[in-house]
A and B are shown apart, each in its own frame.
Chain A
Amino acid sequence: MSQFNFVSDLQNALIMDGETRGPPPRWKKKLEASLNGSASTTRSVLSVSYNTSFSGVQAPAKTPGKSSEGKAKKSTTTPTKTPGGGDRFIPNRAATNFELAHFLVNKESDEENEKATSSNSNESNVQASAHKGERQKLISEVAQIGDSKGGRILCYQNKAPAAPETHTNPLKVVYSIKTPISTKSGSRYIPTTSERILDAPDFINDYYLNLMDWSADNIVAVALGSCVYLWNAQSGNIEQLAEFEEGDYAGSLSWIQEGQILAIGNSTGAVELWDCAKVKRLRVMDGHSARVGSLAWNSFLVSSGSRDGTIVHHDVRSREHKLSSLAGHTQEVCGLKWSTDFKYLASGGNDNLVNVWSAASSGVGTASDPLHKFSDHQAAVRALAWCPWQPSTLASGGGTADRCIKFWNVNNGTLMKSVDSKSQVCSLLFSRHYRELISAHGFANNQLTIWKYPTMVKQADLTGHTSRVLQMAMSPDGSTVISAGADETLRLWNCFAPDPLAAKKSVSNSKVKQSVFRQSIR
């Protein structure tokens, strides 16, 4: 019975431990407030008393075997930094391994019992010796927590070298906010402000979803919260296409090439086909066990990538729509694009992989292995784009931990080029009129960057979004790019206007001023 008491005591102690980890206790807040409020003289007095109590009480109790070097360091640090204070000694329960200690106490008695009761002494000896190493280790671990003399901490004498003095952490670009790096002005004029801003309330800020697409009929489909809206880019009319029930939402939108039918992948794992002229749902195709975050059309074939890691090809014409299921990812598929010649399908996933599937093998209905598996990205890959003038070139961009735009030759499966964009890459598009591509980024500048391809010289930074840019789509004439940001706006950028020289010659000045004026009104 006493053992049970001990267990309940132990649990109480652990619960208390959980509480102390939360907000700081009142005495601590008070102490801090008094420290901040009082003059500097009283502050120094307080800190001295605190320092002595700390080294006098806690240090020997917790780490008596600590080297003098460590102690010296502790005394030099400012007391306001370390938790605790006043004249109270608060034992560090987090460092005391109650569970292990309890286990050892029980285990020892168990083993003794075992020895006593066992008729076969040989067997018990064997068992004891088998347990011995483990036990010894556990004991030493416990001892080491309370007293560092219980185990030895060893290190090699010839230390690793420090980084060269000139080195700066490359991650710094991710953390520090800077004004946009000056870009080399190219041969043409690119307006760096958005032409138009649309409000997009409730636009879901999720890196793994694809919530906007621009059709060949010049209609932009966008999912806001649980609804899907259509914005006619010509007339400016807005129409609500679909509304999902509470809790459900559209995870991906994709227009068929011809531009009448919209595929919506929803949060339940189904792919819905909508006729947008009639505002009517045509069919629902299941096939996934989790939400569909990416879609890509290839004439009558719609491919859907899901959180369950599979890609399913649906034949939208036939009753048995599920042609094949590709299992090449172990985590959510967030990027999916058919190549411009529809021979290859590229998929990017949260498992940092880019897979390239060949259409010839995937259309037949057998689950095959990917043609290429690129694992060079160090973060989830969502941004994928195929080069319109080099059908075998694939561009892919990685997330925050990676920040690279990589170019692949899918004919031989090689990495052609890799560029550090210094920010999360959310979307990539190739221009049809210029040998350029545009990339959408997140922190720190939330910009769109236009790059010359293949030199990858920066042409322009288009700034304006106040939060990361999640998705981009191109107008049917290829001149305008629409970007959707987590700041709940859609912005239109007239960055690939086809005939800049003529426009420059005729009404360059007045036109530029007009667009700036229009911008300032909003």
Chain B
Amino acid sequence: MSTAQATKNCITLKGSAQIIVEYLKYGINSILFQRGIYPAEDFDNTQQYGLTILMSKDPKIQTFLQNVLSQTEEWLSKNMINKISMVITNAHTKEVLECWDFKMQAEMGDGDTSDPTKLTATKELSRIQNEIRDVMRQISATVSYLPLLDCICTFDVMIHTLQNTELPAKWDETGAIIIQNSQAVQLRSFSTGLHKVDTVVNYKMTS
């Protein structure tokens, strides 16, 4: 009986990865809308974390994110990711204009830590979601200070993994990106008990 109770509120590495990937999905879509990268008509309302979040309807963007995030989830559940960067570039000049970093930090959780693959945390889902909601609110509030992206833009997701990660099919290795004259703003963090996620936006200062 006691074990049944103990597992009631348990988050495993896999579950933690799921929560984070869900956050990334909503976060990236929200950024795409809030920053005006794609036309507003291409977005649909969804309710999540007690907020209305606009999700892209574009099938190409949907499949891209689906592919990237499913791979991300696999790596995250093995703790192989340092950082996920969403990079916004000028579609014509390829200049990097903005970079949203989602930094992952592994945490030990508070369950039995004898086996690193079976780490668990007992943080309540509603608490995690409240933390995520606060970050999402901040993301939509960034509009007031981030510079206007006044050009046709595109975006990419770069995953910073460990050195020994195998390159899956259809994936490429790429170089680090650099934003000239950049400014970074750290938003709130949230934690699942097993991963702590920091959200940072780097943007190009306009002189």
Q: Which residues of A contact B177 (CB under 8 A)?
A: 70
B167 at the interface (CB under 8 A from A): yes
Given A63-B176, A154-B174, also A161-B58 (CB < 8 A): yes
A352 at the interface (CB under 8 A from B): yes
Q: Which residues of B contact A47 (CB under 8 A)?
A: none
Task: For B40, give its contact among A130, A170, A352 (CB under 8 Å).
Answer: A170
Bound: A100/B71 CA distance, A: 28
| Interface pair B82/A140, CB less than 8 Å apart | yes
Closest residue to B147 on the A side, CB-wise?
A175
Instruction: Tell me which of A105-113, A144-152, A216-224, A383-391 binds B.
Output: A144-152
Closest residue to B47 on the A side, CB-wise?
A375
A179 at the interface (CB under 8 A from B): no
Q: Chain A nearest CB: distance from B57 CB in Å? A: 13
A162 at the interface (CB under 8 A from B): yes
Bound: A148/B160 CA distance, A: 10
Q: Which residues of A contact B167 (CB under 8 A)?
A: 152, 154
Given A130-B116, A134-B106, A157-B172, also A144-B82 (CB < 8 A): yes
Q: Chain A nearest CB: distance from B96 CB in Å? A: 9
| Interface pair B181/A82, CB less than 8 Å apart | yes
Q: Chain B nearest CB: distance from A320 CB in Å? A: 33
Q: Which residues of A contact B68 (CB under 8 A)?
A: 156
| Interface pair B106/A352, CB less than 8 Å apart | no
Per-residue A-contact encoding for B143-170, CB less than 8 Å = 1, 0 else: 1100011101111111111110101001
Q: Chain A nearest CB: distance from B201 CB in Å? A: 15
| Interface pair A154/B176, CB less than 8 Å apart | no
**How many residues does chain B have at the interface if contact means C-beta atoms less than 8 Å apart?**
65
Task: For B150, give its contact among A133, A144, A149, A172 (CB under 8 Å).
Answer: A172
| Interface pair A171/B148, CB less than 8 Å apart | yes
A278 at the interface (CB under 8 A from B): no
| Interface pair A169/B51, CB less than 8 Å apart | no
| Interface pair A137/B106, CB less than 8 Å apart | yes
Q: Which residues of B contact A83 (CB under 8 A)?
A: 181
Task: For A154, give its contact among B38, B140, B149, B171 (CB under 8 Å).
Answer: B171
Q: Which residues of A contact B106 (CB under 8 A)?
A: 133-134, 137
A69 at the interface (CB under 8 A from B): yes
Bound: A149/B38 CA distance, A: 34
Per-residue B-contact encoding for A53-74, CB less than 8 Å = 1, 0 else: 0000000000101110110011
Q: Chain B nearest CB: distance from A288 CB in Å? A: 22
| Interface pair A81/B158, CB less than 8 Å apart | no
Q: Which residues of A contact B35 (CB under 8 A)?
A: 169, 171
Q: Which residues of A contact B71 (CB under 8 A)?
A: 156
Task: For A77, give its contact among B51, B173, B175, B180 (CB under 8 Å).
Answer: B180
Q: Chain A nearest CB: distance from B156 CB in Å? A: 6
| Interface pair A160/B148, CB less than 8 Å apart | no
Q: Which residues of B contact A137 (CB under 8 A)?
A: 79, 82, 106, 162
Bound: A77/B179 CA distance, A: 12
| Interface pair A70/B67, CB less than 8 Å apart | no
| Interface pair B162/A152, CB less than 8 Å apart | yes
Q: Which residues of B contact A275 (CB under 8 A)?
A: none
| Interface pair A175/B61, CB less than 8 Å apart | no
| Interface pair B52/A161, CB less than 8 Å apart | no
Task: For B67, give its contact among A126, A158, A164, A167 (CB under 8 Å).
Answer: A158
B185 at the interface (CB under 8 A from A): no
Bound: A281/B67 CA distance, A: 66
Closest residue to B62 on the A side, CB-wise?
A160
**How many residues does chain A have at the interface if contact means C-beta atoms less than 8 Å apart?**
57
A499 at the interface (CB under 8 A from B): no
A26 at the interface (CB under 8 A from B): no
| Interface pair B144/A130, CB less than 8 Å apart | no
Q: Chain A nearest CB: distance from B178 CB in Å? A: 6
Bound: A73/B79 CA distance, A: 33
| Interface pair A160/B61, CB less than 8 Å apart | yes
Q: Chain A nearest CB: distance from B67 CB in Å? A: 6
Q: Chain B nearest CB: distance from A161 CB in Å? A: 5
Q: Which residues of B contact A351 (CB under 8 A)?
A: 137
Q: Which residues of A contact B162 (CB under 8 A)?
A: 136-137, 140, 151-152
Closest residue to A82 on the B side, CB-wise?
B180
Given A154-B173, A401-B140, also A169-B52 (CB < 8 A): no
B108 at the interface (CB under 8 A from A): yes
Task: For B116, give its contact among A82, A129, A375 (CB under 8 Å).
Answer: A129
| Interface pair B172/A154, CB less than 8 Å apart | yes
Given A126-B114, A160-B154, A172-B150, also A148-B144 (CB < 8 A): no
Q: Which residues of A contact B38 (CB under 8 A)?
A: 163, 167
A204 at the interface (CB under 8 A from B): no
Q: Which residues of A contact B152 (CB under 8 A)?
A: 162-165, 167
| Interface pair B171/A148, CB less than 8 Å apart | no
| Interface pair B170/A157, CB less than 8 Å apart | yes
Given A133-B116, A134-B106, also A160-B170 (CB < 8 A): no
Q: Chain A nearest CB: distance from B146 CB in Å? A: 9
Bound: A81/B207 CA distance, A: 9
A272 at the interface (CB under 8 A from B): no
Q: Which residues of A contact B172 (CB under 8 A)?
A: 154-157
Q: Chain A nearest CB: distance from B196 CB in Å? A: 11
Q: Which residues of A contact B157 (CB under 8 A)?
A: 155-156
Q: Which residues of A contact B67 (CB under 8 A)?
A: 156, 158
| Interface pair B180/A81, CB less than 8 Å apart | yes
Task: For A375, give its contact among B50, B63, B181 (CB under 8 Å).
Answer: B50
Bound: A130/B162 CA distance, A: 17
A45 at the interface (CB under 8 A from B): no
Given A67-B175, A137-B79, A157-B171, also A167-B163 (CB < 8 A): no
| Interface pair B45/A169, CB less than 8 Å apart | no
A102 at the interface (CB under 8 A from B): no
Q: Which residues of A contact B161 (CB under 8 A)?
A: 151-154
B9 at the interface (CB under 8 A from A): no
7 contacts between A and B (CB under 8 A): A66-B178, A70-B177, A151-B82, A156-B71, A156-B172, A163-B91, A167-B39
A130-B113, A155-B159, A167-B39 provided; 6 other pairs, C-beta below 8 A? A133-B79, A151-B163, A152-B160, A152-B163, A159-B154, A169-B37
A residues with CB within 8 A of B: 63, 65-67, 69-70, 73-74, 77, 81-83, 126, 129-130, 132-134, 136-137, 140-141, 144, 148-165, 167, 169-172, 174-175, 351-352, 375-379, 400-401
